[in-house]
Structure 1
Amino acid sequence: MKALHFGAGNIGRGFIGKLLADAHAELTFADVNQTLLDELNQRKSYQVHVVGDESRIEQVNNVSAVNSGSEQAVDLIAEADIVTTAVGPQVLAKIAGTIAKGLIKRHQQGNTQPLNIIACENMVRGTSQLKHSVFDVLPQDEQAWVEQHVGFVDSAVDRIVPPAEANSSDPLEVTVETFSEWIVDQTQFKGPPPAIAGMELTDNLMAFVERKLFTLNTGHAITAYLGQRANLLTIRDAILDPQVRQVVRGAMEESGAVLIKRYGFDADKHAAYINKILSRFENPYLHDDVERVGRQPLRKLSAGDRLIKPLLGTLEYDLPHGNLIKGIAAAMSYRSEQDPQAKELVELLEKLGPKAALIQISGLPADSKVVEEAVAAYNTMQSQ
Structure 2
Amino acid sequence: MTPPRRTVRHPVRIVHLGLGAFHRAHQAWYTQRANEATGGWGWGIAAFTGRSPDAARILAAQDAVYTLVERGPESDTTSVIESLSVVADGADAERWRRAVADRAVGVLTLTVTEAGYRPSTAALDADLSALRAGEVTFTAPGRIVDGIRARRLAGAGGLAVVSCDNLPDNGRVTRDAVLGLATALDPSLAEWIDTEVSFVSTMVDRITPATTGADREAVRELTGYDDAAPVVTEPFSEWVLSGDFPAGRPDWESAGARFVDDIEPFERRKLWLLNAGHSLLAYLGLLRGHVSIADAMGDPVCVAALEDLWAEARTELPFDDDAVDAALDALRARFTNARIEHRLTQIATDGSQKLGPRILDPLRSRLAAGRAPGRAETGVLAAWILHLLDGSFADAGAVDLAARLGEHPDDDAQLAVDAVSAFAPELADDPAVTESVHHQLGALRAARSFATEEPSRGAH
> Using a 3 Å threshold, how does the CA distance of structure 1 residues 144 and 288 change in structure 2: closer, same or farther?
same
RMSD of aligned alpha carbons: 2.2
> Using a 3 Å threshold, how does the CA distance of structure 1 residues 244 and 6 change in structure 2: closer, same or farther?
same
Equivalence for 1:282: 336
1:175 aligns with 2:219: no
1:57 aligns with 2:118: no
> Using a 3 Å threshold, how does the CA distance of structure 1 residues 137 and 295 change in structure 2: closer, same or farther?
closer
Equivalence for 1:67: 89
* Separation (CA, whole Å) in 2 of partners of 1:248 and 1:190: 42
> Using a 3 Å threshold, how does the CA distance of structure 1 residues 274 and 351 change in structure 2: closer, same or farther?
same
**Structure 1 unaligned blocks of 5 or more:** none
* Separation (CA, whole Å) in 2 of partners of 1:51 and 1:30: 26
Equivalence for 1:373: 436
Equivalence for 1:148: 195
Q: 1:78 aligns with which of 75, 78, 101?
A: 101
Q: Which moved more, 1:114-123 or 1:134-143?
A: 134-143
Equivalence for 2:116: 91
Superposition pairs of residues 110-149 of structure 1, within 5 angstroms = 110-112=155-157, 114-138=158-182, 139-149=186-196
1:291 aligns with 2:348: no
Q: 2:377 aligns with which of 307, 319, 324?
A: 324
Aligned AA (1:269)? A
Q: Percent identity?
A: 22
Higher RCO by CA contacts (8 Å cutoff, separation 6 or greater): 2
Aligned AA (2:376)? N
CA shift for structure 1 position 345: 4.9
CA shift for structure 1 position 150: 1.2
**Does the CA-based 8 Å contact 1:35-1:171 persist in structure 2?**
no
Q: Deviations over 1:283-340 (max 9, x none)?
A: 1211122222222232334xx3211111111111233522222222222222452524
* Separation (CA, whole Å) in 1 of partners of 2:193 and 2:349: 36
* Secondary structure of 1:305 counterpart: helix
* Separation (CA, whole Å) in 2 of partners of 1:159 and 1:288: 11
**Does the CA-based 8 Å contact 2:67-2:81 persist in structure 1?**
yes
Superposition pairs of residues 192-341 of structure 1, within 5 angstroms = 194-196=250-252, 197-259=255-317, 263=318, 265-301=319-355, 304-319=356-371, 321-334=374-387, 335=390, 337=392, 339-340=394-395
CA shift for structure 1 position 194: 4.0
Greater CA radius of gyration, 1 or 2? 2
Aligned AA (1:66)? A
* Separation (CA, whole Å) in 2 of partners of 1:78 and 1:347: 44
* Secondary structure of 1:184 counterpart: strand
* Separation (CA, whole Å) in 1 of partners of 2:143 and 2:443: 49
Equivalence for 2:153: 108
Work out the number of aligned pairs and report it. Answer: 376
**Does the CA-based 8 Å contact 1:74-1:99 persist in structure 2?**
no
* Separation (CA, whole Å) in 2 of partners of 1:121 and 1:316: 27
> Using a 3 Å threshold, how does the CA distance of structure 1 residues 109 and 223 change in structure 2: closer, same or farther?
same
Q: Which moved more, 1:198-207 or 1:324-333?
A: 324-333
> Using a 3 Å threshold, how does the CA distance of structure 1 residues 171 and 318 change in structure 2: closer, same or farther?
farther
Q: 1:161 aligns with which of 176, 197, 208?
A: 208
**Does the CA-based 8 Å contact 1:21-1:27 persist in structure 2?**
no
* Separation (CA, whole Å) in 2 of partners of 1:33 and 1:198: 31
Aligned AA (1:291)? T
* Secondary structure of 1:154 counterpart: strand
